[in-house]
Structure 1
Amino acid sequence: MSIILTNHGVNDTTTSNNFLASSSNLLDGSLGNSWNNPNPESNKTLAEKYLQSVEDLIAISNISNDSDQKNIHIDTCSGDECTNTVFNATVTVRSSGNGIVKTAGFKYLQDYLPNTTHTFNINSIVVSTTQRGKENLEITLKFPLLTPRPRHFELQCVSWNYNQSNWTDEGCVWGGASKPDECTCNHLTSFAILMSRYPIKIPYMTEITYAGLSASVVSLVISLLIELIVWSKVVKTNTLHLRHTAHVNISLCLLVADCCFLASSQPKSISEIWCRIAALLKHFCYLAMFFWMLSLSTMLLHQAVFLFHKVGKKTYLRFSLILGYVCPFLIVFITFLTNNGGAQDAYFSLETCWLVYSGLLKGTIYTFILPVGIIVFINLFAMIVVIMKLLDHRSREKSHEKEIQAAKTVLRSVILLTPIFGLPWIFGFATFSLDLTARAVTLAVNYAFVVLNAFQGLFILLTTCLGDRMTREALLNSFRKKAPPTISESSTNLETTTKKS
């Protein structure tokens, strides 16, 4: 066919239709192995020679819309803006000239053309578009994808370069995550869509995560030691007792969860049972941390709204223990049982040792995201109400001054704590809706989320311990008492003892 087209051409419709029918038959699946044989007459593959010959045939022949074959569909149109549809692939051509646009869709040809890239696979049928008399072209192509595009996988709009015998993205732009099946090009030839074999990686994300978690583990251990040292000196009121109890439990839950995260950072090097245990502990401990934060917010909200109504320490502790540990336990227990007893790929993923994400509102990950989202919203609401109420009570009598002062101390901590536990997860929720193919914006959101959450333990140390005046003073006093006396202090003490004698 190539020789006839080159030397003689095709002068009648019957001949062109016969050639077209034969070309369609060559694409049958039963002949798939034949395409692997090299073309003896040139260094081009049989599939490339086939595509070029059929493209030339369609360009010079009087092809009509009723020339469709089993494996080749053809559509034609004319005008300044016209649209052709072949095998559900749509090609819209806008131009400043008049002429006939011919579009052909080829079944299975994408499997026979050589894949000239190492990181992408062909993910659509091959569509060829030719024209006569058209100038200043703008082509919009919409392909049905052969495989649905997962999140964070990049697509590439390409055309076949006959001179270099490879796929090239020159002159074509992909529509992005919002239009994953759309391409815009400025020339006509044979087109296809390629899909990346691997998801987009965020540079240095792993290093930042491990560095942050390591710093958090050390900071949380220091925070717990500080709470142990200053507890008897700082915890003077019910408000402070409940606040520091919440801080200790938040730090303890986050410490265990971060240790499990680091222990399962290389899922391939641990067994399935340990991966399941790590996912289970992380699920429970991270949830428990947020529920204890909810307990702290609830306590502050109650004290701000009902300033003179006191709740017994034992009553609130029972409430906090139920909210902080029983609620997350029930969520984890029910999720574990309803997903085949914590089975792989149902409850947890062996690749990440974490919960499964199967799509929007699909997968066990949402038994974590939804409770956390509700808690973050309540925490932010509680902070706003507490601030408004405390500002309202500033002009009133200073009765219960001790409790009010304690509430203000807690408020200062919550203003620092609530962004730490709340706002970073707003970035986290955004990462589930944004696609990494959006590049700059999504990368910034992901970096913000990872940095703020990986260093969460360090922020707890800076705000609840070192940033709190009462805790800081109590800690300094403890070190002063334990420090050995200096020479001047010893001399002064000796003189005083001598005078008394």
Structure 2
Amino acid sequence: MKTVAIKNLMDKLKNNFHETQYASLILSATLEDKNSSSVKIELDFPRIQPNGNKPYCVFWNTSKGDWSDVGCAVKYGDADSTVCECNHLTSFSVLMAKENISTDDLDMITKVGLGVSICCLVIFLTVEYLVWSAVVQSNLSHFRHTAIVNIATFLLLGDCSFLVPAEKFGEDWCLFFTVCKHLFFLAMFSWMLCLSVMLVHQLIFVFNPLRKRVFMFLSSIVGYVCPILIVGSSYVFCKYTGKKYYDTETCWLIFERLLVGSIHAFLLPVGAVIFTNLFSMVVVIVTLLKSSVPDGSKSDDKETAKGIVKVVVLLTPVFGGTWIFGFALLLLNRGTPLFTVANYSFTILNSFQGLFLLITGCFAEKKVRDEMIKLIMAKSKGKMESTKNFTSTTYTKDK
């Protein structure tokens, strides 16, 4: 058995393993005249990193040119040392990362919230399908419902992607679901941008309203093409520069530090959308305060405009605030009261987004409520008439 310990070499080696910091010691172990195919080795590393960090036992994968934890695990550790156990011999070290912030309470809130959101989004899309022909009577109402159906669809796909434990199925599936989540949530925010910008245009340029074909063309570019380009370019950039696009443990984008990491390919576009939506909110509110209904407007357009204002005003803080809290988690220190507040706020808001969308996009709109009541009443009346006819027929035959 031969072992070699080397100091001051770790900073010369590439490190894309999670969000870790390298230790000062690397240990190489070799075994001569090895007859058995199985081996188990324990390595005791001095713990010189802060106690708040999580240790990973890793080895240097010569084929990939990076660190890997396959076949190695932390057996136990304390404030003084970390003991690793591996089933193969190579060059070992310990990498330190920020401690996992997940708790049983947060996991339960996330699962329950996402389950509720998925059910609410399915209900919302079903209601939109049933009342579509009745509520889409003008171009403005068509724009509104097209945008909000796309928002609900991409939010539903994003929530379903988050519920899949992709990290258990291997790196390929982890990459696939990371791309899905990145794409779906970007598309959701892009359609919110289409909704708010369209409303501003309709209220300001009263005599030059958007045509349906123009709106669908521009919205398709913003809502479909732009998110695909952002996700594709960010992945190619990470691949070209040798940086990791996703974390294999969480199957989500990586944050290294401010303006460094693939997460910024999501945060920066979302920040731009939130800023634009807030500006649109101010313009819409000021315009409506000056004149409740622009000259030449129809009453149906007025009600639709009010519905869009409700959606933009209520959903922008909910959707945007969620990721503001998420970004705060990356900057705040664990253990502080602000970190706990941001952690629970992010989990609750992010998990129950589908419920908020059902309330604001369906229950809060009078026209949708009225159409649903008509459908329910018509269905109930049809059942009563069917029962009455069946009773009359039976009575006649008996007689």
TM-score under structure 2 normalisation? 0.70
Give the corresponding residue for 1:224: 125
Query: Residues 196 and 417 (structure 1 numbering): CA distance in 2 closer, same or farther, change over 3 Å?
Result: closer
Structure 2 contact 203–294 (Cα < 8 Å) conserved: no
Paired residue type of 1:478: L
Give the corresponding residue for 1:100: none
Q: Deviations over 1:235-255 (max 9, x none)?
A: 111111011001111111111
Paired residue type of 2:127: I
Structure 1 position 207, deviation (Å): 1.3
Give the corresponding residue for 2:138: 237
Structure 1 position 341, deviation (Å): 7.2
Corresponding position: 1:307 with 2:206: yes
Structure 1 position 282, deviation (Å): 0.7
Q: Distance in 1 between matches of 2:181 and 2:319?
A: 16
1:460 aligned to which of 346, 357, 363: 357
Q: Distance in 2 between matches of 1:219 and 1:234?
A: 20
Structure 1 position 360, deviation (Å): 2.0
Query: Residues 234 and 351 (structure 1 numbering): CA distance in 2 closer, same or farther, change over 3 Å?
Result: same
Give the corresponding residue for 1:207: 108
Give the corresponding residue for 1:372: 270
Corresponding position: 1:407 with 2:308: no
Give the corresponding residue for 1:251: 152
Give the corresponding residue for 2:179: 280
Secondary structure at the counterpart of residue 378 of structure 2:
helix
Query: Residues 442 and 477 (structure 1 numbering): CA distance in 2 closer, same or farther, change over 3 Å?
Result: same
Corresponding position: 1:444 with 2:345: no
Structure 2 contact 310–360 (Cα < 8 Å) conserved: no
Q: Deviations over 1:143-198 (max 9, x none)?
A: xxxx4x69x749xxxxxxxxxxx999xxxxxxxxxxxxxxxxxxxxxxxxxx9994
Secondary structure at the counterpart of residue 204 of structure 1:
helix
Q: Distance in 2 between matches of 1:405 and 1:373?
A: 29
1:333 aligned to which of 221, 229, 232: 232
Secondary structure at the counterpart of residue 239 of structure 2:
coil
Give the corresponding residue for 1:98: none
Structure 1 position 485, deviation (Å): 4.2
Secondary structure at the counterpart of residue 362 of structure 1:
coil
Structure 1's unaligned 5+ residue stretches are 1-29, 31-107, 109-119, 124-146, 155-165, 169-194, 495-501
Structure 1 position 362, deviation (Å): 1.3
Q: Distance in 2 between matches of 1:488 and 1:312?
A: 44
Secondary structure at the counterpart of residue 351 of structure 1:
coil
Structure 1 position 365, deviation (Å): 0.8
Q: Deviations over 1:272-321 (max 9, x none)?
A: 11111111111111101110111111111112222332110110111000
Which structure: larger Rg?
A: 1
Query: Residues 199 and 220 (structure 1 numbering): CA distance in 2 closer, same or farther, change over 3 Å?
Result: closer
Give the corresponding residue for 2:369: 472
Q: Distance in 2 between matches of 1:357 and 1:480?
A: 53
Q: Distance in 1 between matches of 2:139 and 2:284?
A: 18
Give the corresponding residue for 1:383: 281
Structure 1 position 231, deviation (Å): 0.1
Query: Residues 480 and 253 (structure 1 numbering): CA distance in 2 closer, same or farther, change over 3 Å?
Result: same
Query: Residues 399 and 441 (structure 1 numbering): CA distance in 2 closer, same or farther, change over 3 Å?
Result: closer
Q: Among the aligned pairs, what percent are the same residue?
A: 39
Structure 1 contact 428–449 (Cα < 8 Å) conserved: yes
1:263 aligned to which of 151, 164, 175: 164
Number of matched pairs: 309
Corresponding position: 1:425 with 2:323: yes
Secondary structure at the counterpart of residue 291 of structure 1:
helix
Query: Residues 446 and 121 (structure 1 numbering): CA distance in 2 closer, same or farther, change over 3 Å?
Result: farther
Paired residue type of 1:223: F
Q: Deviations over 1:48-78 (max 9, x none)?
A: xxxxxxxxxxxxxxxxxxxxxxxxxxxxxxx
Query: Residues 167 and 452 (structure 1 numbering): CA distance in 2 closer, same or farther, change over 3 Å?
Result: closer
Give the corresponding residue for 2:251: 353
Structure 1 position 418, deviation (Å): 2.2
Structure 1 position 333, deviation (Å): 0.8
Q: Distance in 2 between matches of 1:219 and 1:428?
A: 23
Give the corresponding residue for 1:317: 216
Structure 1 position 490, deviation (Å): 5.1
Structure 1 position 424, deviation (Å): 2.5
Give the corresponding residue for 2:20: none
Structure 1 contact 200–437 (Cα < 8 Å) conserved: no
Structure possessing the higher relative contact order (Cα contacts under 8 Å, 6 or more residues apart): 2
Structure 2's unaligned 5+ residue stretches are 5-23, 25-44, 55-77, 81-95, 393-399
Structure 1 position 329, deviation (Å): 0.5
Q: Distance in 2 between matches of 1:121 and 1:481?
A: 75
Query: Residues 395 and 293 (structure 1 numbering): CA distance in 2 closer, same or farther, change over 3 Å?
Result: closer
Q: Deviations over 1:256-283 (max 9, x none)?
A: 111111113x61x212111111111111
Structure 1 position 323, deviation (Å): 0.2
Q: Distance in 1 between matches of 2:239 and 2:386?
A: 72
Query: Residues 468 and 334 (structure 1 numbering): CA distance in 2 closer, same or farther, change over 3 Å?
Result: same
Query: Residues 418 and 307 (structure 1 numbering): CA distance in 2 closer, same or farther, change over 3 Å?
Result: farther
Q: Distance in 1 between matches of 2:383 and 2:240?
A: 61
Paired residue type of 2:191: W
